[in-house]
Amino acid sequence: MTIVQVQNLHKSYGSHHVLRGIDFKANAGEIIGVIGKNGAGKSTFLEVIMTVKSFDEGDVQLFGQSIQEASGLQLKALRQRISAILQPTQFYKSLKVEELLHLFRAYYQSDVKVEQLIADFSLASHRKTYFDKLSGGWKQKVSLAIAFLAKPKLLILDEPTTGLDPHMRQMLWSYIQHYNQKTGGTVILTTHSMDEIERFCDKVMLIEKGRVKQFDTVVRLLASGYASMNDYYLQNVPHEEDAS
């Protein structure tokens, strides 16, 4: 089943053309990494898919529904099937972890039990901690738990492991993989960590100056002669000093 279908997507901010004809497809159960330099258009692409940012030209379909043609109620229904964690993480600073979970459980009208979520994400030791007092890794962990409250069929992550130590990175990825395997949900993420792309992603899309330079499976890219995804990135993404 196709979850996301994007054709000829264009987006500009005034005279600055950010997305220049993006084509993209994500199927149920896939984990897809979106890579490229800062400013390539990755975050804008994700925000369009989330329906929080408009676009100028092209077609975007979510779960078989064109978002351009969707009514207000239809857009609301589509958004209820999507969860996202963007950078930087922002939640209510004056609330404790368990308070945030109860708040978002009510917001999503979720039947997921807060106590079960606390157990699943090993949050018991921080349940009474104010969100603002958590380390970056724990904030990401709580954010992921909140995202799962909605039982999303599409999970969008913008650099979810930036700044985390290896143990916390591995822990977050274990939750993402478990979600993917248990629900058959689709994950689309941006990251600068090529080892994460290589270890965890089914496909990778390289964006350069708002255009898709390559979109393929990780297996095929590595089989085409690259020693690793890091090697692929270094050979296909120009260094700032070499860029025109």
How is the chain split into domains, by residue range?
1-81+154-160+184-244
Q: Which two tokens stand for residue 231?
A: 């090697």
Contact 188, 46 (CB under 8 A): yes
Residues 3, 44: Cα–Cα separation, whole Å: 19
Burial of 137 (0-12, 13-18, 19+ CB in 10 A): middle
Q: Find how far residue 214's CA is from the centre of its chain.
A: 19
136-149 vs 166-183: helix crossing angle, rounded to 10: 10
Nearest-CA neighbor of 29 among 220, 203, 145, 168?
203
Other C-beta atoms closer than 10 Å to the C-beta of 220 total 10
Residue 87 pLDDT: 65
Q: Give yes or no for residue 103 having a pLDDT over 60.
A: yes
What CATH architecture applies to the domain 1-81+154-160+184-244? 3-Layer(aba) Sandwich (3.40)
DSSP label at 151? -
Q: Which two tokens stand for residue 72?
A: 């207000």
Residues 158, 188: Cα–Cα separation, whole Å: 9
Name the 3-class secondary structure at 50: coil
What's the whole-model pTM score? Answer: 0.90
Q: Which two tokens stand for residue 237?
A: 């993404």
Give me the residue label for tokens 């478990």: 178
Q: Give yes or no for residue 92 having a pLDDT over 50.
A: yes
End-to-end CA distance of the chain: 40
Contact 230, 221 (CB under 8 A): no
Residue 62 pLDDT: 97
**DSSP secondary structure string for all residues of 4-42:** EEEEEEEEEETTEEEEEEEEEEEETT-EEEEE--TTSSH
Contact 180, 20 (CB under 8 A): no
For the sheet with 82-85, list strands across it: 82-85, 154-158, 186-190, 31-35, 203-208, 211-217
Q: What is the pLDDT of residues 136-183, one digit of tens each?
A: 889 888 999 999 888 899 999 988 888 888 988 998 999 999 888 888
Q: Give yes or no for residue 90 having a pLDDT over 70.
A: no
Residue 83 pLDDT: 93
Name the 3-class secondary structure at 186: strand
Q: Which two tokens stand for residue 116?
A: 């079960």
Residue 26 phi/psi, 5-degree rounding, is -130, 130
Q: What is the pLDDT of residues 28-53, one digit of tens each?
A: 999 999 999 999 999 999 999 999 99
Which amino acid is located at 137 in the chain?
A: G
